[in-house]
Every structure is written in structure tokens, then in C-alpha cells.
Structure 1
Amino acid sequence: MSANAPFARLPEAASFTVTSTTVRDGDAWPPEQFSSGVPGGKDISPQLSWSGGPDGTKSYAVTIYDPDAPTGSGFWHWAVADIPATVTELPEGAGDHTGSGLPEGAFQLPNDVREARFIGAAPPAGHGLHRYFVVVHALDVESIGVPADATPALLGFTMAGHTLGRAVLIATAETPA
């Protein structure tokens, strides 16, 4: 993980593994994972599988964050909380408007366009390569206790004291000028 990772200043946490049939670590997002506002984009959340969560894990959360967005605060594309510890996979498309692929008890928080769903990549044309941190957070509580309308930033703040481990996959995207 690079020194400028979004959580470099957070408390240390154990590492475990996240993989995807949608995108490999370090590779570019396929067109379906781009925003529907981009030609070919469909706002389809990636398939994710994880293993090796630390002992004591009682739930998971998943976040997708672009620290390279030209906002001063990055851009949150997806946040899912309260995934039961027995769940170790989300199917592609789980982050639709209804959360149809999420396990019982899990919920999506509004992203930075204030919609509780996955929104795909859409880096500004000519802005350069953007990194998308796909992170599975292993937590020591069954419910993180944030309201469903909380921001992903509040979720991250609340998770900081409950994170046992993080599994990280980094996808990329770039829109030519």
C-alpha cells in the first residue's frame, strides 16, 4: 500500500485478501464500472471476494474511494456497512439502487452524489490517472452504528476505532482529454 493511501494516517490494522472477478489489483476498471454518464458506463459495482479476515471479526464494511478526484476531499463511490462476518463475497451489481445483492442486515450509505448505491468512475477528461481504493474493512462490532443516511466519511471516522483489518484492491481509470 502506498504511503499516500487514504488510511495511511489511521491506526495500523491487520492485512487480509480481497480479490475480484471484475478487476485485478492495479488494473483499469472495465467499462461497466464507469459512471453511466460516461460512454459505455453502467454504474455496476464490482464482484468482490475476501478471505483471511482477522480473529474477532464481527462484521465487514466495503468502501470504494477515489483520492485523486479534484475536490480537496476525494470522492466516495460506494460504502456498505454491517455486512455479517459470515459473508465473504458480494456479487457484481450488488450496489444497485435497491442493494439487491447485499446480504440481510447490510446497507448502502449515500455516496458523494448523495445516492445510496454504487456510482462508477468518471475522472474529468485530461485529469490523469485516478486510483480507486476498493477496501474491505474487518470490524470488531456486529453493527457499526451509523445511520443509513450518514456520509462515507462518518462511516470511516466511526470505523477507525473498530477496525481489525483491511483488505485493499486498487483499480484505476483515466478519461483522455
Structure 2
Amino acid sequence: MKLEVRGIEEGQPIPEKFAFGVYSEEDHMSFGPNRNPEIVWEGAPEGTKSFAIIMFDPDVPSVADDVNQEGKTVSKDLERVDFFHWLLVDIPANISRIPEGEDSDGVIPKGKEPGPGPIGIRGVNNYTQFLAGNPDMNGTYAGYDGPCPPWNDEIIHHYHFEVHALDVDTLALEGEFDGNDVREAMAGHVLASARVTGTYTLNPDLR
């Protein structure tokens, strides 16, 4: 299979229009346009009955104590974990493109609803946990929400966009399912996959 994420080249920085947070000289970060990029795929094998899309960042600090704290840095030596940014499942087999801005166009405080979206079924991304302590922003975040790594992180973050061709019409996921639920449900059903990786940072020393 071949995947194209339009506007994002393999191994290159992700444009700000796709980001949840953009660099701000005054207060480190401000909200970005948060548009999902257009993605197009081809070459799905015979027997494909649906597609799933996963976008995740494997470079997120496992401990958030120093995240975005003045006078502190998030050490490059800290253990890192996956942070899911986009989960779409049960995409019909006759679909091979998601237009830019179709699943997200702007930051929506308190998030977007999980369940049926413009294309496929939206799962819950990890902004749900990350913003849980912010009274202005806490809520359930589903579908696409773009990069916003800690502005004091010593490493550049990587964002993997993946499309998976599946041998089932549906993963039978309901409610507020997350990235781990999607991975478990896909196990044994993936016929082919493709990935494009972009990078992003809000640390002015790394930009």
C-alpha cells in the first residue's frame, strides 16, 4: 500500500496549519488552525473490507510533572509513551481519500463527539486525558487533533500517520474507544499498512 499525506513530507516538519498548538513568542504556545491534512491511499489488497486510520506521537513524556513549566525542561532521557491524535475506523472499502479539514477544522474547546463522523467512526484521542485538569478545555476529544508537544521538551516529536487495510467491515467498537482498543481490535485483521512520519516542536531552541 502507498499513503500520501498532502503537505507533509516524510521526516520533515509538519506545517502549522495541521497543528493544535503553534509557537508563540509571548506565551510559548497559542492555538493553531488544527486542520486534518488530506490523506490519500492506494494499493489496498484484494479482500479489503474497511480501513482504519491511526495518527500517534511515540515521543510523549511518560511523566508530565515538568511539562510546560517555566524554568524547567522535559529531559530527553525520560521514558516516552504513545499519544494518539487521530483514530478513524470502519472507513468503507470504497473510500481512499479524506479531504483536508474534513475531520477537524479548528480547536474545539471540550472536544468533538466520538462516534460517526464525516467519514468512518471517530475514536477518542489523548487530549481527553491531557486537558482533563483544565476547566476551560476538559472534555472528550474525538477524531483529529493535531500536534502540540511540550514547549520545553528537549526532543523533537515524531507523528506517525498510518492507514490499515482490514479484512472485516467493522471493528465493532462503540462508545469512547481509544487507540489501544483500536490496536487490539485490529489484531489479526490487517492485510496491509502504510505510514508517513512528520516532525514537530514548539521548543524555540529546536525550531
Relative to the length of structure 2, the TM-score reads 0.71
Decide which of 104, 118, 127 is 1:113's aligned counterpart.
127
Residue 85 (structure 1) aligned with residue 111 (structure 2): no
Listed one character per residue, the Cα deviations across residues 2-57 of structure 1 (whole Å, up to 9, x for unaligned) are: xxxxxxxxxxxxxx110022312222111111114743612211110000011111
Residue 141 (structure 1) aligned with residue 141 (structure 2): no
1:119 counterpart letter in structure 2: D
Question: How many pairs were matched up?
Answer: 160
Q: Secondary structure of the equivalent of 2:61?
A: coil
Shift of 1:134: 0.1
Q: Structure 2: how far apart are the matches of 1:101 and 1:46?
A: 16
Listed one character per residue, the Cα deviations across residues 108-136 of structure 1 (whole Å, up to 9, x for unaligned) are: 11101231121110111242211100000
Query: What is residue 156 of structure 1 aligned with on the other side?
Result: 183
Given that 2:116 and 2:122 are in contact with CA atoms closer than 8 Å, whether structure 1 keeps it comes out as no
Decide which of 150, 153, 156 is 1:124's aligned counterpart.
150
1:63 counterpart letter in structure 2: I
Relative to the length of structure 1, the TM-score reads 0.83
Q: Secondary structure of the equivalent of 1:158?
A: helix
Q: Secondary structure of the equivalent of 2:40?
A: strand
Shift of 1:148: 3.5
Given that 1:91 and 1:101 are in contact with CA atoms closer than 8 Å, whether structure 2 keeps it comes out as no
Overall identity of the aligned pairs, in % = 30
Gapped regions of structure 1 (runs ≥ 5): 1-15
* Aligned positions of 1:46-85 closer than 5 A: 46-71=37-62, 72-85=80-93
Change (3 A) 1:170 1:142: same
Given that 1:139 and 1:165 are in contact with CA atoms closer than 8 Å, whether structure 2 keeps it comes out as yes
Query: What is residue 13 of structure 1 aligned with on the other side?
Result: none
* Aligned positions of 1:6-21 closer than 5 A: 16-21=1-6
Q: Secondary structure of the equivalent of 1:32?
A: helix
Aligned-residue RMSD, C-alpha: 2.0
Residue 45 (structure 1) aligned with residue 45 (structure 2): no
Where has structure 1 moved over 2 Å in runs of 4 or more?
A: 36-40, 96-103
Query: What is residue 170 of structure 1 aligned with on the other side?
Result: 197
Q: Structure 2: how far apart are the matches of 1:100 and 1:33?
A: 22
Shift of 1:64: 0.4
Q: Structure 1: how far apart are the matches of 2:3 and 2:202?
A: 26
Shift of 1:152: 1.3
Q: Structure 2: how far apart are the matches of 1:120 and 1:43?
A: 6
Gapped regions of structure 2 (runs ≥ 5): 23-28, 63-79, 105-111, 129-140
